[in-house]
Amino acid sequence: MSDREPRDRVERWVDLDADAQRVWAEVGGFGAIADWHPLVESCELVELDGDLHRHLRLADGALMLERLVEQGPHHYRYEIVEGPLPVEDYLSTFTVFARGKGCRVFWSASFEPAIPDAEEADRVVAAVYEAGLAAIRDRFSA
């Protein structure tokens, strides 16, 4: 048995009455986040040490650097290299999958809180996901 505390995990999703292929085509690219997330002002894809990264400028002016870890037909996994979120060892997955006549957009992360209040770290990550998923919901409900 390990003395290490379990990693925090945040999961959020939105169900849409839209085709998974269409949703993925519009929001699924690793570099597409600035096109739909209200907290992301710009996204620039760059290759660093052979890996694809995205430089994000957030709406509040903060900067983030994220590295693509894995990409599949309807998902990608990434880690935060540096940024303002109160987390460490952050690994996230963004997925779109068919569900009934529509689809589900599922966003999850596991991480170590970088602040004493782990619940606050969870709330910050959840708020980022909820803002993005609400924008996706609004985009596809029109």
Spatial CA neighbour of 37 closest among 140, 142, 129, 141: 129
Answer whether 0.75 is exceeded by the pTM: yes
d(CA 27, CA 64): 19
pLDDT tens digit at each of 142 positions of the chain: 445 555 899 999 999 999 999 999 999 999 999 999 999 999 999 999 999 999 999 999 999 999 999 999 999 999 999 999 999 999 999 999 999 999 999 999 999 999 999 999 999 999 999 999 999 999 999 6
Alpha-carbon distances of 119 from 7, 9, 10, 115, 131, rounded to whole Å:
12, 11, 11, 9, 18
d(CA 69, CA 40): 20
Q: Coil, helix or strand for 133? A: helix
Does domain 10-29+68-141 fall under CATH 3.30.530.20? My reply is: yes
Element (H, E) at 137: helix 118-141
Cβ neighbours, 10 Å, residue 106 = 19
User: What are the residue ranges spanned by the domains of the chain?
Assistant: 10-29+68-141
